[in-house]
Amino acid sequence: MKKEILEWIFCIIVALVLALIFRYFIGTPTIVKHSSMYPTLYENERLMLNRTFRITKKKPEVGNIITFEAPTKEYSKWDADQSNPIATYDNEPKGIFKKFVYYCLELSKTSYIKRVIAVAGDHVKIENNEVIVNDKVLEENYLQDDVITESEVFYDFVVPEGYIFAMGDNRDNSIDCRVFGCIPLEKLEGIVVMRFWPINKITKY
């Protein structure tokens, strides 16, 4: 009896470890909790995230919908530095256990879902209600016709190496890189590859 119990405990531990490894390095489902990606995504829709970039080191591309750890500071037009448009993270957990809970189990962690607009080296300008990347107006067919893109904080800058610039499709109701700066790649959590719920809206991205 003791041997069988130990075998079951061992199997359960191995299964949990494998599940965590799969969740962290391969993929995991998630739920849309905000309206910042409307009309592309609606609240309570279920998505599948690809996390293999943590193994392959493949960087997200312009147009990808991504999730990332929320920055801890929103800038104003008075303290934003256009020459250094990077997000601030000052809530790094201390200790191995707290890091495991925060980064692996993702408990008490706030995440955002946005669309990649520009990558490292791209020159971004937001003016006259348009997004201009490398001197070309960005075609954004995923936006509603009446959407206006404005920014008084970060509006004329070059995306630094190792960072990405992302915004929500619902520009008037999206807290994004326009106010907290570009996101470091190490804070990327997942790349959306599929919407699997509701069933009548299954979509591959």
* Res. 126: pLDDT tops 90: yes
* Res. 15: pLDDT tops 80: yes
34-89 pLDDT tens trace: 899 999 999 999 999 999 999 998 999 999 999 999 999 999 999 999 999 999 99
Point out the least confidently predicted range of 70-74, 101-105, 154-158.
Answer: 101-105
pLDDT at position 188? 97
Question: Could you give the CA distance from residue 13 to residue 8 in angstroms, rounded to a whole number?
Answer: 9
Question: Could you give the CA distance from residue 141 to residue 89 in angstroms, rounded to a whole number?
Answer: 32
Mean pLDDT of 196-200: 94
The set of residues, in sequence order, having a beta carbon less than 8 Å from that of 177 and lying 6+ positions away, is 85, 87, 114, 117, 154, 165, 166, 167, 183
Question: Could you give the CA distance from residue 115 to residue 205 in angstroms, rounded to a whole number?
Answer: 12
Please compute, for residue 81, the number of CA atoms within 13 A of its CA located in the half-sphere on the CB side: 7
pLDDT category at 100 given cuts 50, 70, 90 is confident
Question: Could you give the CA distance from residue 183 to residue 71 in angstroms, rounded to a whole number?
Answer: 8
161-191 pLDDT tens trace: 999 999 999 999 999 999 999 999 999 999 9
Question: Could you give the CA distance from residue 127 to residue 123 in angstroms, rounded to a whole number?
Answer: 13
Question: Could you give the CA distance from residue 204 to residue 172 in angstroms, rounded to a whole number?
Answer: 26
Which carries the bigger pLDDT value, residue 153 or residue 100? 153
Where do the domains of the chain lie, and which CATH numbers do they carry?
A: 2-204 (2.10.109.10)
- β-bridge mates for residue 163, sequence order: 184
